[in-house]
Every structure is written in structure tokens, then in C-alpha cells.
Amino acid sequence: MRELLYVPIIHVESDLGSAAPALEQRSASFFGEQRWARHKATVAQFWQRVGDYVSRIQAANLKIYQDGLLVGGDLGKKIIEEGARRGSPNYKIILGLMKRGADIRPTEDASLLKEEYEYLRRLAQAPLSDRRPAAYEEYELRKDRIRDERDRFVARAINKTLREGDLGLLFMGA
């Protein structure tokens, strides 16, 4: 039998790169400092519990599938190491599993990932004036199809590489 466990990704500042300071400030302003601090503490606790749970998993036949990861092998490991170095709890957990023998697998289609990124980049960079609603509408028209295509690609990748007796761990965002 093969099994697949799903771990929802809740992003933290270290996952957001250069956008983190602006998003942090905007979120604290919108939600209020105390509420935002409670949210961040809850997210930290979520990742701690995920880490505690997966630390009990036998990693020998574990295949890891990470949202947004285009490659496995040595390059995939370098990407995971860099994310862990930046402080991503998601990547720290994966790196710990890899050190215990788990195998990282390519999960995404590059063209679909790039297409979605471009829509989101245009939306984020559009001025608040008349161009932002247009960028939003453009993304809204395409996002469901991109998401469905990405989901099907991920499912095929898992189906091809998760063998009888394997356990898969899928880290996937919304």
C-alpha cells in the first residue's frame, strides 16, 4: 500500500522574501498589532506541531513533495537548504527529514508556476490606480484554470513516483 499525507503550508515572513517587510507592516496595520502577533504565534505553534509529528515518521521510504519545487536530487536539496537557512519552518522540517533518509521529488510544472507568478507579480506591482483592478481581473479569469492544471500535474507526479510501500508527504499551499 502507498500512503500520502497532506501538510497545508502556512507561510511565514522568511518564505516571502523581499515582500515580507511590506506585507508584515500592512498585516499588522490591518489586523492590529496584538491580533497579528497572536496570528504569528499560532502559525509558529502549527509548524512546531507539524515538526513534532513528522519527527516520528520513518524516513527511509518517505517521498517529499513540496509546493513550488521544480526539481529533486542535489539541486532540490540545495533549494531546501537555502529555504531552511532563511528560516522557513516548512523547509527546516523537510531538511530534517532528508537528513534522516527522505527523498525530495520534483512536484511542479515550470511553465504553470511561471505563468501564475507573472500574474501575481503584475498584480502586486500594479499601482493602486486604474491598473490594479485590470490586473486583478486578468488574474481572476485565469487563476482557477492554472490551479487546476497545477493540481493535475502534482497528482501525476506523485502517482508516477510514489511506489508500493512508500509514504508520501505533500506540503501544499492553498
Largest distance between two CA atoms of the chain: 55
Q: What is the pLDDT along the chain (174 residues), one digit of tens a residue?
A: 899 999 999 999 888 777 778 778 878 888 999 999 999 999 999 999 999 999 999 998 899 999 999 999 999 999 999 999 999 999 999 999 999 999 999 999 999 989 988 887 777 776 766 667 777 788 888 889 999 999 999 999 999 999 999 999 999 987
Read off the pTM: 0.87
List, in sequence order, the alpha helices (H) in 32-167: 33-54, 73-86, 89-99, 110-125, 131-161
